[in-house]
C-alpha cells in the first residue's frame, strides 16, 4: 500500500534489511523494525560493520534505537546480492586491529602535515566533532 | 536458564515421556543436577551422551502446543509429535517467553548449521499467530522477546563460532551436551517442506501458513515436480520463511506516523507551496491521458499525495506568557520546534541613502519584486491561450511591470535609464528582462533594445564576471527583426561614432565580448536585410550614407582587432560577408574572412 505517494517515506522500508551510516562514522546493518516522525530508527539483529581496506568485520550488537538526527543515510540491502561482495570478511579481533593500525597511520600523517604547516607559518584550525560551526 | 528450557523441550519431544519438574537455580550448577530417569529416556531415544538438566515445560495455549508440534517436526525420528503428552502440567508453567526462546534457539542452531548464517527462523505459523492471539499486551512482550532472543542468539553465535566450543561455561553447557545438539541438528537436515506440505493438506488454526509462505512453497513444489531445482533465490532461507518479527510496527502505528507527517505537510495553497510536485503530477496525468488516447486501455493510475485539509486553528501564540512570571515559556510548535529566544525584529525599516551597499541591496530588492510580477504574468499565460477577458488583465500586468522597470524612484529621465542599467548589471535582472521581452509590445521592446545598444560598452564591462548577457541575445534577436532602419541607425551610431573626449570607439570593447559582437552582427545583418528588401530607399539618402560609413568603420575595426581578442559570436549571419563585400575593398574582406576562421 502506498502510504504517501510522491514523498520519501520510511514506511515502506520497514522489516527490510538496511545499512545505516551514522554521523560518527559507524556503519550499522540491521532490520528496520520501527520508525517515528523524526526518523528515529529501531534496528533489529544489528551488526556493526567495520571496514578497513578490502576487509570487514561484523560485530553483532542486537537491537539499536537510533536517534534520527544522527543518521547520515540509510539504504535497503538486497538480500540476494548481499553476498556478492569483493570484500573479505575477517574476524572481529582482526578488523579491530586493522582499524587501530589505520587510525594510527592516519594520526601520524596528520601530525606530519600539521608540523609541516607550522614550519611554514600556517595553521589549519582543527575540525572539532561539532562540525556545524 | 534459557538453554535448559530448550533442551528440555527437545528431550520431551524426542522421548515423549513426561518430566518431573526440576528447576535449575543457576547454570553453573547444572552438571550436578542429574536426573536418572531422564538419562535413561534419552538413551532409549537417541544414542548420545546424556546431558544433565531438565525443567518442566507446560503447554497451556494451543499456540504453545503448536510450537511443540513444529519442534517435533524437526526430528523425523520423534515418536510422539502429537499433543496429549504435552498437556500435563504439574507445577509451574512455562511462559510463552521461554517457549519462543527454545524454539528460536532450535531453529537458530539448525539454521546456523545449515547455512552458516545467523538468520533467525521460526516456524512460519508463529508470526501471524502471535499477532492474532495476543493483544496489545503481547506486543509489549514481543518486544521483550526479541531482545532476549537476540541476546541468546548472539551468545549462541559466539558460542558456535568459536571452534571447539570454548565457552561452555558461559551457558553452563557441557561439551557433551553441545555435541548432542549438533547431532540433533545434523540429523534433521531435510527442509521443513515435507511437514509443511502436510500442514497444507490439513489446514486448521494450528497449521495455517502465512499466505505468502504458502504461495512460495506451492511454487517450489511445482518447480520440483517439473524436475527443476528450486531457483537460488527461492532456496534462500529468507524468502522461504516469513520474518517472525515482521509487523512489530502495527498498521495503526504506521498510520499514526503517516498522519503526523501529513499534518506537517498541510497547506492552503499547495500550488504554491508544493509547486514542483503539482507540476510534475499534472505532467504525469497528461502523459497518461495521452497514452490512454493512443490505445493503451489499462493505464496505471498513479496516486497523488493529498494532504489533509485541517481547519487552521486561530494563530497560536508561540510565546506563552504566564501571569506573574518573569520571562516567557518556550512552547514547541510545528514551525518552531526549539524556540530559544524571541528573536523577532520589531524595528521599523531604516532608510539608508547614499551607502553603496544599501543601494545595491535596494536594487536587488526591487528586482525581486519585479520578478514576482513576472512570475504572475508567466503563470497567467501558461494556463493556456489567453481568454479575451484575461488578456486585458495580462497586458495591464505587463504594462505595470514595464513601468516599474523603467522608473524606479528616479526623478529625471536620465536616471531612469540608470536604474534600468543597474537592473541589467545584476544577473537576475538580466534574466528578468530576457523573460519579460517576449511579453512586451513592440515599441516598448524596441526602446529597451535601443537602451541596451546605447549602453552596450558599459554593460559589457560590468558583465565580465558573470558572462550572463547571453541570455538576452535570443529575445533581443527577435526584437531586432522589428526594428526600422532609422532606429537601427540610431542604435549603431551610438556604438560606432567616437564619443567626445575619447579616442577609442565604443565598438572596440563590444567586439571583445561575445554578446556584444553577436548583437552587432545581428544589427548589421538586419540592416543589410532591410536595404536589400526595400529598394525604395534612395541611393544618396543621408541614412544610406551613414549606413555605409558605419559598415566601413565596423569592418575596419574588426580588421584592426587582433584575432585573439575578437570574441566568438553566438550566431554568424550569412549575409554579413556579402555586406562587407559591397562596401569595402577586397583586401579588407580577405582580412575579415581570416578573422572569421
pLDDT tens digit sequence for B95-118: 444 444 444 444 444 444 444 443
pLDDT band, very low/low/confident/very high, at B543 (cuts 50, 70, 90): confident
CA A127, chain centre distance (Å): 19
The confidence score (pLDDT) of residue B54 equals: 42
What are the residues of chain A with a beta carbon less than 8 Å away from any beta carbon of chain B?
Answer: 2-7, 9, 11, 14-15, 31, 33-37, 42, 44-45, 60, 62-63, 79-80
Average pLDDT, integer, range B44-53: 43
B304 → closest Cβ in A5, A14, A15: A5
Q: Considering only CA atoms, which of B152, B68, B151, B147 is closest in space to residue B105?
A: B152
Where does residue B227 rank: exposed (0-12), middle (13-18), buried (19+ CB within 10 A)? exposed
Instruction: Give the chain A residue whose CA is nearest to the CA of B279.
Output: A6
Q: Report the pLDDT value the prediction gives residue B544, as an integer from 0 to 100.
A: 78
Distance from CA of B418 to the nearest CA of A (A): 41
| Rg (chain B; Cα; Å) | 44
> What is the predicted pLDDT for the residue at B542?
75
| Mean pLDDT computed over every residue of chain A | 90
Show residues of chain B in contact with A80, CB under 8 Å.
232-233, 236
Contacts of B260 in chain A (CB under 8 A): 37
Q: Is B283 on the interface with A (CB under 8 A)?
A: no
Q: Could you tell me if residue A129 is inside a domain?
A: no
Report strand pairing: A17-22 vs A71-76.
antiparallel
Q: What order do you get walking across the sheet with A41-52 strand by strand?
A: A71-76, A17-22, A27-35, A41-52, A55-66, A88-89
Residue A131 lies in a domain: no
Which residue of chain B is at minimal alpha-carbon distance from A63? B147
Q: Does B305 touch chain A (CB under 8 A)?
A: yes
Give yes or no for a contact between B524 and B579, defined as CB atoms under 8 angstroms apart.
yes
Q: How far apart are CA B430 and CA B515, in angstroms?
A: 13
- Three-state DSSP class for residue A4: coil
Per-residue pLDDT at A10 exceeds 70: yes
- Cell 498513479, located at residue: B302
Radius of gyration of chain A (CA): 19
Asked if the C-beta of B485 comes within 8 angstroms of chain A's C-beta atoms, the answer is: no
Q: Which pLDDT score, from 0 to 100, does residue B446 have?
A: 87
| Domains in chain A, number | 1
The whole-angstrom separation of Cα B132 and Cα B151 is 26
Tens digit of each residue's pLDDT (9 = 90 or more) over A18-46: 999 999 999 999 999 999 999 999 999 99
Cβ neighbours of B409 (radius 10 Å): 9
Determine, yes or no, domain membership for A69: yes
Q: For an interface test with B, give the residue of A31, A35, A60 to mutate (most B CBs within 10 A).
A: A60
Among B181, B218, B177, B223, smallest CA distance to B197 is for B218
B243 to chain A: closest CA residue: A15
ipTM over 0.90: no
**Exposure string over B13-50, b if 16+ CB within 10 A, otherwise e:** bbbbbebebeebeebeebeebeeeebeebbeebbebbb
Whole-structure pTM value: 0.45
Cell reading at A22? 551514522
The answer to whether residue B257 neighbours chain A at the CB level (below 8 Å) is yes
CB contact under 8 A, A14 and B249: yes
- Residues 6+ away with beta carbon under 8 Å from B18: B12, B85, B88
Does the pLDDT value for residue B485 go beyond 50?
yes
* B586 pLDDT above the threshold of 60: yes
Q: Does B212 touch chain A (CB under 8 A)?
A: no
Q: What CA–CA distance (Å, rounded) separates B36 from B487?
A: 118
**The predicted structure's pLDDT at residue B414:** 60
Task: Report residue A75: phi and psi, to 5°.
Answer: -150, 150
Of the ranges A77-86, B123-132, B306-315, the best mean pLDDT one: A77-86
Beta bridge partners, A21, equal A27, A73
- Using CA atoms, how far apart are residues B421 and B428, in angstroms rounded to an integer? 12
Grid cell for residue B418: 540608470
B395: pLDDT confidence band, cut at 50, 70 and 90? confident
Shortest CA gap A60–chain B (Å): 7
Closest by Cβ to B261, choosing from A4, A6, A63: A4
Closest-approach residue (CA) in chain A for B259: A37
Shortest distance, CA A53 to any CA of chain B (angstroms): 23
Question: Is A66 inside any structural domain?
Answer: yes
**What one-character-per-residue DSSP string does B243-300 give?**
-TTTTSS-HHHHHHHHHHHHHHH--S-HHHHTHHHHHHHHHHHHHHHHHHHTT--S--
Give a three-class secondary structure readout of B392-413. Answer: HHHHHHHHHHHHHHHCCCCCCH
Among residues B429, B491, B486, B482, which one has the least CA distance to residue B456? B491
Contact between chains at A35 and B246 (C-beta distance less than 8 A): no
Contact A44 B118 (CB under 8 A): no
Which residues of chain A have a CB within 8 Å of the CB of B249?
Answer: 14, 33-35
Mean pLDDT of B62-72: 54
Q: Does the pLDDT at position B32 exceed 50?
A: no
DSSP state for residue B540 in the 8-state scheme? T
Indicate the pLDDT class of residue B450, thresholds 50, 70 and 90: confident
CA separation for the pair B402, B404 (Å, rounded): 5
Alpha-carbon gap, residue B477 to B454, rounded angstroms:
16
Asked whether the beta carbons of residue A6 and residue B277 sit closer than 8 angstroms, the reply is yes
Q: Which residues of A touch B230 (CB under 8 A)?
A: none
Task: Specify if A128 maps to a domain.
Answer: no
First-to-final CA distance of chain B: 91
Split at pLDDT 50, 70, 90, the class of B380 is confident
**Which residues form the domain of A14?**
5-118
Structural domain boundaries in chain B: 360-374+391-405+417-468, 483-596
The residues that bridge with B330 in the sheet, in sequence order, are B319
B239 and A79 in contact by Cβ < 8 A? Answer: yes
How much of chain B exceeds pLDDT 70, in percent?
Answer: 44
At residue B315, the pLDDT reads 57
Give a yes or no: residue A127 inside a domain: no
Is the Cβ pair A45, B233 closer than 8 Å? no
In this complex, the residue of A37, A60, A80 whose CB is nearest that of residue B157 is: A60
Q: Do residues A19 and A75 lie in contact, with contact meaning Cβ atoms separated by under 8 Å?
A: yes
Chain B CB contacts of A34 below 8 Å: 248-249, 253
Q: Within a domain: residue A75?
A: yes
Q: How confident is the model at residue A99 (pLDDT cuts 50, 70, 90)?
A: very high
CB atoms near residue B231 (< 10 Å)? 12
Confidence grade of residue B597 (pLDDT, cut at 50, 70, 90): low
The CATH number assigned to the domain holding A73 equals 2.30.30.100
Residues B519, B571 contacting (CB under 8 angstroms): no
| B-chain residues near A31 (CB < 8 A) | 243, 245
Phi, psi of B525, rounded to the nearest 5 degrees? -60, -40
Amino acid at each position: 500500500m502506498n502510504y504517501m505517494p510522491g514523498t520519501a517515506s520510511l514506511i515502506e522500508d520497514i522489516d527490510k534489511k538496511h545499512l545505516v551510516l551514522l554521523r560518527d562514522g559507524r556503519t550499522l546493518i540491521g532490520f528496520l523494525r520501527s520508525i517515528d516522525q523524526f526518523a528515529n530508527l529501531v534496528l533489529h539483529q544489528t551488526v556493526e560493520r567495520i571496514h578497513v581496506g578490502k576487509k570487514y568485520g561484523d560485530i553483532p550488537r542486537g537491537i539499536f534505537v537510533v536517534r534520527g538526527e544522527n543518521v547520515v543515510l540509510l539504504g535497503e540491502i538486497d538480500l540476494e546480492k548481499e553476498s556478492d561482495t569483493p570484500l573479505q570478511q575477517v574476524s572481529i579481533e582482526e578488523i579491530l586491529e586493522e582499524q587501530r593500525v589505520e587510525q594510527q597511520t592516519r594520526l601520524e600523517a596528520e601530525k606530519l602535515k600539521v608540523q609541516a604547516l607550522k614550519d611554514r607559518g600556517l595553521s589549519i584550525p582543527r575540525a572539532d566533532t561539532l562540525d556545524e560551526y | 536458564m534459557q538453554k535448559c528450557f530448550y533442551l528440555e523441550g527437545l528431550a520431551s519431544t524426542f522421548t515423549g515421556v513426561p518430566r518431573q519438574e526440576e528447576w535449575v537455580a543457576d547454570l553453573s550448577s547444572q552438571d550436578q543436577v542429574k536426573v536418572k530417569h531422564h538419562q535413561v529416556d534419552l538413551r532409549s531415544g537417541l544414542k548420545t551422551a546424556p546431558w544433565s538438566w531438565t525443567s518442566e515445560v507446560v503447554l497451556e495455549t494451543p499456540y504453545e502446543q503448536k510450537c511443540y508440534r513444529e519442534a517435533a517436526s524437526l526430528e523425523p525420528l520423534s515418536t510422539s509429535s502429537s499433543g496429549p503428552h504435552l498437556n500435563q502440567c504439574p507445577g509451574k508453567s512455562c511462559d510463552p517467553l521461554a517457549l519462543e526462546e527454545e524454539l528460536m534457539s532450535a531453529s537458530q542452531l539448525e539454521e546456523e548449521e545449515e547455512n552458516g548464517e545467523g538468520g533467525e527462523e521460526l516456524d512460519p505459523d508463529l508470526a501471524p499467530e502471535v499477532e492474532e492471539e495476543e493483544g496489545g499486551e503481547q506486543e509489549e512482550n514481543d518486544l521483550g522477546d526479541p531482545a532476549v532472543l537476540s541476546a541468546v542468539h548472539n551468545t549462541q553465535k559466539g558460542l558456535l563460532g568459536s571452534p571447539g566450543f570454548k565457552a561452555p561455561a558461559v551457558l553452563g553447557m557441557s561439551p557433551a551436551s553441545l555435541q548432542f545438539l549438533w547431532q540433533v541438528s545434523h540429523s534433521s537436515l531435510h527442509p521443513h517442506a515435507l511437514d509443511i506440505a502436510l500442514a497444507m493438506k490439513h489446514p486448521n488454526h494450528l497449521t495455517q501458513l502465512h499466505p505468502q509462505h504458502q504461495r512460495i512453497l506451492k511454487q517450489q513444489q511445482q518447480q520440483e515436480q517439473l524436475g527443476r531445482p528450486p531457483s537460488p533465490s527461492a532456496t534462500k532461507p529468507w524468502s522461504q520463511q516469513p520474518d517472525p518479527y515482521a509487523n512489530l510496527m502495527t498498521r495503526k502505528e504506521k498510520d499514526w506516523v503517516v498522519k503526523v507527517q501529513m499534518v506537517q505537510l498541510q497547506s492552503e495553497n499547495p500550488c504554491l507551496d508544493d509547486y514542483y510536485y503539482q507540476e510534475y503530477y499534472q505532467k504525469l496525468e497528461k502523459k497518461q491521458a495521452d497514452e490512454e488516447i493512443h490505445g493503451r486501455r489499462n493505464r496505471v493510475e498513479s496516486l497523488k499525495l493529498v494532504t489533509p485539509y485541517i481547519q487552521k486553528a486561530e494563530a497560536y501564540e508561540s510565546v506563552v506568557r504566564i501571569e506573574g512570571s518573569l520571562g516567557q515559556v518556550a512552547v514547541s510548535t510545528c514551525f518552531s520546534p526549539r524556540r530559544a529566544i524571541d528573536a523577532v525584529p520589531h524595528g521599523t525599516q531604516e532608510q539608508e541613502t547614499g551607502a553603496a551597499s544599501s543601494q545595491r541591496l535596494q536594487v536587488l530588492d526591487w528586482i525581486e519584486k519585479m520578478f514576482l510580477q513576472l512570475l504572475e504574468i508567466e503563470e497567467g499565460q501558461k494556463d493556456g491561450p489567453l481568454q479575451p477577458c484575461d488578456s486585458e488583465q495580462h497586458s495591464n500586468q505587463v504594462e505595470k511591470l514595464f513601468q516599474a522597470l523603467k522608473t524606479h524612484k528616479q526623478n529625471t529621465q536620465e536616471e531612469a535609464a540608470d536604474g534600468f542599467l543597474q537592473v541589467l548589471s545584476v544577473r537576475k535582472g538580466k534574466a528578468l528582462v530576457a523573460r519579460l521581452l517576449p511579453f512586451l509590445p513592440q515599441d516598448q521592446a524596441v526602446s529597451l533594445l535601443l537602451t541596451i545598444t546605447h549602453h552596450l560598452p558599459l554593460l559589457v564591462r560590468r558583465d565580465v564576471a558573470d558572462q550572463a548577457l547571453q541570455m538576452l541575445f535570443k529575445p533581443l534577436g527577435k526584437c531586432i527583426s522589428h526594428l526600422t532602419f532609422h532606429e537601427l541607425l540610431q542604435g549603431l551610431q551610438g556604438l560606432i561614432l567616437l564619443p567626445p573626449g575619447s579616442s577609442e570607439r565604443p565598438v572596440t570593447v563590444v567586439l571583445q565580448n561575445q554578446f556584444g559582437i553577436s548583437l552587432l552582427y545581428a544589427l548589421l545583418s538586419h540592416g543589410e536585410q532591410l536595404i536589400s528588401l526595400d529598394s525604395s530607399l534612395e541611393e544618396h539618402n543621408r541614412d544610406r550614407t551613414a549606413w555605409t560609413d558605419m559598415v566601413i568603420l565596423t569592418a575596419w575595426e574588426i580588421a584592426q582587432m587582433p584575432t585573439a581578442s575578437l570574441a566568438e559570436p553566438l550566431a554568424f549571419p550569412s549575409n554579413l560577408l556579402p555586406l562587407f563585400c559591397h562596401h569595402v575593398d577586397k583586401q579588407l574582406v580577405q582580412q575579415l574572412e581570416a578573422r572569421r576562421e
